[in-house]
């Protein structure tokens, strides 16, 4: 009971069960029934979190951690305030509610479930509404859902036929009805419910409700004066609110490296504390050291247990050395990611003039992951291609029609048994064109409606969620059949004789990715019932008469080879009894509140059987601008590109050649239904092919021990083609032992191929492919890019998901980590932004660990000279300000602005991407180098000043410097060294770099004078009073500081000089290969030690081979 109450009353709970009943207008069904007001969520939107996420580490110090928490709280608090202000603006907006046949103006937050709301043109729906009536007599309204899924095209919604006449406040107030529907769930495209309408002295009427009857909060009413709707979901239970509750968090490889390095530094911290604690008690074993005459112990100290004192001392050393843990690094990394993401959104080269939008960053946590991608999984339609369809040709009963003229195919006997000449029968031509005009969901926008007929056809605009449908309707128009739009339940078509034909639209069997087809059932003016169906050949051919297939199949395969998208068209005439049976089944299934979709799918499957094939269409989807160059650049950068598409193999294969995924010399290995052969031996044949391909690849790549890494070698290139049915056999084999290793062999084949094409893929199979590669040995970084709802599963599965702001809606862009307007923008996103983000954050992480080691090592060494008494070397103000003020801004500016290589070079030379592959800058080797550098400089800081203090009289008057002066000199050398080290590493100087680097040093000097120049009343001990000012009066101190800074930086200076000399030597040798030898050892059998002469010879031979091939093309 408690859980039921939570599910019913708490907003945001996703796992709801059962249904809800809504009383329209809060009126009971009958006057005799007692009405009890129901409790539902109110219509307030609350997106503010009031939560502070704090970075944690096992050991932290008070003030720096407090600073981190404060900065994070300010950042999140500001974002929360912005959300709260936006929520208030929405909640206080005005709406009109119909009560007692009058319109009452209220705030949006006052809407309750069951209220009847009036919405006018260009207004946004304040909650999820069931559409009751509109100003249009046909009960239709048009809606845009750009704020929900980004789709700017108009969507058509329909009112229940029994309420379409309620167009006034009096009429709508007289409605007595209840709505039964599912509990709130986040899927924007699913809704199941029914409405029961009660009339006096009549039986109640029940009508089904679906997504076409639901108007979602956030959508906008267009081309309709007003509508009436009843609120069913309000506030945080609306689909919009449920969709903005966030996706699962992805973690980058850099975060994992940080955790590994943090463990090392924790071990260093514990080791230092343990060593100091042990040596302290060894040193105190001498009674004189333990209790000198000037520092006698108290009775309480003598009676304390030794183990307790040791534990207390251990904790004291942990606190003293805890600054080695870079707590402030977490907030710096967070700020770097947050601020750095704006550079992607501001990039003018990634702005698309056509859609007037640029790149979008949904997840800034993965910026550096863009520089580590090894596998790219891409959709084809709308991603590699424009998804801008153009009708090319069609075939009817084996006869090809192109440019409005019938063509004779002229098949010879060798082409097969088909020999059709001339045109198809006139009735078959008209039947085919009528099917194109009727089997779709296209709407018409614009034009004037006179006496039920649209005039001024030049102003028409066809609207549909699918570009294919618009292309087919325009294709039919080219042949003389024009779709004129809807009028109530009728579809109007103008035939070749300019006569208007009306067809009553009875049912639409909607398209879905599983069925891969859609159908309509219409009634002609003569009373005939016709079913028209269009879809992919793989879903149509099994459902038509088998003797009709071959004549059309030839055209479909030829068009696919030419790279066109093909659809087959079929029809079926229904008897009165057949239609009545189908209508009853559909009506019953539509009324179901449980498993409605499954029941509908079974009925669709039975209805779309025993059809007759009429013909097929060919639509061209052109390759996107610079798509081929982008794929070529990604491959040169060492990435392997896989195309995952639902299209036919021939169509996808042609696109792969056009986009240069497959080269002319690429040997293709096929695992498709064609190569499988007889259905009785499919698994045996699959096993044979897998072993054959595996053996062939092993011969070309003989030895490959260790982790498979990216490469771009001079060996024979292989490409793999596999279809969905074969992939099902591999991923879901039968239980016999012979097929248990299919997946392992298949994966080895895939990893050795240069590129892979997976066709006829279902959305789930796309995600399975990505997951399979992602979980291989070495866990390569994967990226998925797509533009449609069927790509969402693979986008969510990959390490990095990229959505294309395409023409199939914005579901992919909404669910992605990054969204770009075109596929070509992926090149700069990865090769430039990804490369730079990775280098910047890797340097930031290593630099933080380095400068904290430099900071604490002198403190550790100082304990050997102060009797391990936990005496700090630095003043408390310096301890606190080191990471917060003195060294934080320079590295933040570096991590945002640094360009060690300019962007134009990174984009034009993709090979540079390979130099940072496999997390190269955060491996143990560079980490140990930075650790060595920090240790060396820490030793120089401490012992350099220590030897300076061998003569503690550093002034001409004989005054002696003390321990605070000693610590201040060490700290001064430390601050200047680590800051100048960053200046040495900077390759791209801006005014901001100069300001923060030299400004930080100036601020340190100013602060030291200020801190030690005033007697602060709140300090009990003024130990730093005039220390810094006194220190800088000594010439010896100045010389020591300058000398120690130079000695500390000498390894870095020598390394820079050596690299520059080496670079100049390399520039004297011409080395300009068209293809890149791997920077890594062990690259599919080839190493970087391959002789240059052999490589050049092989490349030259390949180039000579390609020239004749290109000439032939």
CA-closest candidate to residue 333, choices 921, 849, 985, 815: 849
Between the two ends of the chain, the Cα-to-Cα distance in Å is 74
Q: Specify the pairing of strand 782-786 against strand 375-378.
A: parallel
DSSP 965-1014: HHHHHHHHHHHHHHHHHHHHH--S--HHHHHHHHHHHHHHHHHHHHHHHS
DSSP-derived pairing of the beta strands 565-574 and 529-535: antiparallel
CA-based nearest residue to 813, from 386, 363, 346: 363
Q: In whole angstroms, give the CA distance from residue 738 to residue 151.
A: 49
Sign of CA dihedral 292, 279, 324, 67: negative
Phi and psi angles of residue 1084, each rounded to the nearest 5 degrees, phi first: 50, 40
**SS3 category, 962:** coil
- φ, ψ of residue 376 to 5 degrees: the values are -115, 120
DSSP letters of 1-62?
A: -HHHHHHHHSTT-----SEEEEEGGG--SSTTSPP-------S--------------SS--H
The Cα 156–Cα 510 span in angstroms is: 14
* Gap between the Cα atoms of 533 and 614, Å rounded: 10
What whole-number distance in Å separates Cα of residue 823 and Cα of residue 386?
A: 10
As a whole number of angstroms, the longest Cα–Cα distance in the chain is 121
* DSSP category for residue 124: B
Inter-axis angle of helices 576-591 and 596-607, to 10 degrees? 170
Q: 456 burial class (0-12, 13-18, 19+ CB within 10 angstroms)?
A: exposed
Q: Is residue 379 annotated as a catalytic residue, yes or no?
A: yes
Give me the catalytic one of 128, 379, 723, 918: 379
Give the separation between CA 242 and CA 256, rounded to whole angstroms: 31
177-182 vs 19-23, strand pairing mode: antiparallel
> Ramachandran region of residue 782, left (φ > 0), alpha (ψ -120 to 50) or beta?
beta
Identify the CA nearest to 86 among candidates 54, 112, 116, 108: 108
Q: Are strands 667-671 and 718-723 parallel, antiparallel or unpaired?
A: parallel
Q: Are strands 443-445 and 461-463 parallel, antiparallel or unpaired?
A: antiparallel
DSSP category for residue 1076: P
**Enzyme catalytic residues:** 379
């Amino acid at each position: 009971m408690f859980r039921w109450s939570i599910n019913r009353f708490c907003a945001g709970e996703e796992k709801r069960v059962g249904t809800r009943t809504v009383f329209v207008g809060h009126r009971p069904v009958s006057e005799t029934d007692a009405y009890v007001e129901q409790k539902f969520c109110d219509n307030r939107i609350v997106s503010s979190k009031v939560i502070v996420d704090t970075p944690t580490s096992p050991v932290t110090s008070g003030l720096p951690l407090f600073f981190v928490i404060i900065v994070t709280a300010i950042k999140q608090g500001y974002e929360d305030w912005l959300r709260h202000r936006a929520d208030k603006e929405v909640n206080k907006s005005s709406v009109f509610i119909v009560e007692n046949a009058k319109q009452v103006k209220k705030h949006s937050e006052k809407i309750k479930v069951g209220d009847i709301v009036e919405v006018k043109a260009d207004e946004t729906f304040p909650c999820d509404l069931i559409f009751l009536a509109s100003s249009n007599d046909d009960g239709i309204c048009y809606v845009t859902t750009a704020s929900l899924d980004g789709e700017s095209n108009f969507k058509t919604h329909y009112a229940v036929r029994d309420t379409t006449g309620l167009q006034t406040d009096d009429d709508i107030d007289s409605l007595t009805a209840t709505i039964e529907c599912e509990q709130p769930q986040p899927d924007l495209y699913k809704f199941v419910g029914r409405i029961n309408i009660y009339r006096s002295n009549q039986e109640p009427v029940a009508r089904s409700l679906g997504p076409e009857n639901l108007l979602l909060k956030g959508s906008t009413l267009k081309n309709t004066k007003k509508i009436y709707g009843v609120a069913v979901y309000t506030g945080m239970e609306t689909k919009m609110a449920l969709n903005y509750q966030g996706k699962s968090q992805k973690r980058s490889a850099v975060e994992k490296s940080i955790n590994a390095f943090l463990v090392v530094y924790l071990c260093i911290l514990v080791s230092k504390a343990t060593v100091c604690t042990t040596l302290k008690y060894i040193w105190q074993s001498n009674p004189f050291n333990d209790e000198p005459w000037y520092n006698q112990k108290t009775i309480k100290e003598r009676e304390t247990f030794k183990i307790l004192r040791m534990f207390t001392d251990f904790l004291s050393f942990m606190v003293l050395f805890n600054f080695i843990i870079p707590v402030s690094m977490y907030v710096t990394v967070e700020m770097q990611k947050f601020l750095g993401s704006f550079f992607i959104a501001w990039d003018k080269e990634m702005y698309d003039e056509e859609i007037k939008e640029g790149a979008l960053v949904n997840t800034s946590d993965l910026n550096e992951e863009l520089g580590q991608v090894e596998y790219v999984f891409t959709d084809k339609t709308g991603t590699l291609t424009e998804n801008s369809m153009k009708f090319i040709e069609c075939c009817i009963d084996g006869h090809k029609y192109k440019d409005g003229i019938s063509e004779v195919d002229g098949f010879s006997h060798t082409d097969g048994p088909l020999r059709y000449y001339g045109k198809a029968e006139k009735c078959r031509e008209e039947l085919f064109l009528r099917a194109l005009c009727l089997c779709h969901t296209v709407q018409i926008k614009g034009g004037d409606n006179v006496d039920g007929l649209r005039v001024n056809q030049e102003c028409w605009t066809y609207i549909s969620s699918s570009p294919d449908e618009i292309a087919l309707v325009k294709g039919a128009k080219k042949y003389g059949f024009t779709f004129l739009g809807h009028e109530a339940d009728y579809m109007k078509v103008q035939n070749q004789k300019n006569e208007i034909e009306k067809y009553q639209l009875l049912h639409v069997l909607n398209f879905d990715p599983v069925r891969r087809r859609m159908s309509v059932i219409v009634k002609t003016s003569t009373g005939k019932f016709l079913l028209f169906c269009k879809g992919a050949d793989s879903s149509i051919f099994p459902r038509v008469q088998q003797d009709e297939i071959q004549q059309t199949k030839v055209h479909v395969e030829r068009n696919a080879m030419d790279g066109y998208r093909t659809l087959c068209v079929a029809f079926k005439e229904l008897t009165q009894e057949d239609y009545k049976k189908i209508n009853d089944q559909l009506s019953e299934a539509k009324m179901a509140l449980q498993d409605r979709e499954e029941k509908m799918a079974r009925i669709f499957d039975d209805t779309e059987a025993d059809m007759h094939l009429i013909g097929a269409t060919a639509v061209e989807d052109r390759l996107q601008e610079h798509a081929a160059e982008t794929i070529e650049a990604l491959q040169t950068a060492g990435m392997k590109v896989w195309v995952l598409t639902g299209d036919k193999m021939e169509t996808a294969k042609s696109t792969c050649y056009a986009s240069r995924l497959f080269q002319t010399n690429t040997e293709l290995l096929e695992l498709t239904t064609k190569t499988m052969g007889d259905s009785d031996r499919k698994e045996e044949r699959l096993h044979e092919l897998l072993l054959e391909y595996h053996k062939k690849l092993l011969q070309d790549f003989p030895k490959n021990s260790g982790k498979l890494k990216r490469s771009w070698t001079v060996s024979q290139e292989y490409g793999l083609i596999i279809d969905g049915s074969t992939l099902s056999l591999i991923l879901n084999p039968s239980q016999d032992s012979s097929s248990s290793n299919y997946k392992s062999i298949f994966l080895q084949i895939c990893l050795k191929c240069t590129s892979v094409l997976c066709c006829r893929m279902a959305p789930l199979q796309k995600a399975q492919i990505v997951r399979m590669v992602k979980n291989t040995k070495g866990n390569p970084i994967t990226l998925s890019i797509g533009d449609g709802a069927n790509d969402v599963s693979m986008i969510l599965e990959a390490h990095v998901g990229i959505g294309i702001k395409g023409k199939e809606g914005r579901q992919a862009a909404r669910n992605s980590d990054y969204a770009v307007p075109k596929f070509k923008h992926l090149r700069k996103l990865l090769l430039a932004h990804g490369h730079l983000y990775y280098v910047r954050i890797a340097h930031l992480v290593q630099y933080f660990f380095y400068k904290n080691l430099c900071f604490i090592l002198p403190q550790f060494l100082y304990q050997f000279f102060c009797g391990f008494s936990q005496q700090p070397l630095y003043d408390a103000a310096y301890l606190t300000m080191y990471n917060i003020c003195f060294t934080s801004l320079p590295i933040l500016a570096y991590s945002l602005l640094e360009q060690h290589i300019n962007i134009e070079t990174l984009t034009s030379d993709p090979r540079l991407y390979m130099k940072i592959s496999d997390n190269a800058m955060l491996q143990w080797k560079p980490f140990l180098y930075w650790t060595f550098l920090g240790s060396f400089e820490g030793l120089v800081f401490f012992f350099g000043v220590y030897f300076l203090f061998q003569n503690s009289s550093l002034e001409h008057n004989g005054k002696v410097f003390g321990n605070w002066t000693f610590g201040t000199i060490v700290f001064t050398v430390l601050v200047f060294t680590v800051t100048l080290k960053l200046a040495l590493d900077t390759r791209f100087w801006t005014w901001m770099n100069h300001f923060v680097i030299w400004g930080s040093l100036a601020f340190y000097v100013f602060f030291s004078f200020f801190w030690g120049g005033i007697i602060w009343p709140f300090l009990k001990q003024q130990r730093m009073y005039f220390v810094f000012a006194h220190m800088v009066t000594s010439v010896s101190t100045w010389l020591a500081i300058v000398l120690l800074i130079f000695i500390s930086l000498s390894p870095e200076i020598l390394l820079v000089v050596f690299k520059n000399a080496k670079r100049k030597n390399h520039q004297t040798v011409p080395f300009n290969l068209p293809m890149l030898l791997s920077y890594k050892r062990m690259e599919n059998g080839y190493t970087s030690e391959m002789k240059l002469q052999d490589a050049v010879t092989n490349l030259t031979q390949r180039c000579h081979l390609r020239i004749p091939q290109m000439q032939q093309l």
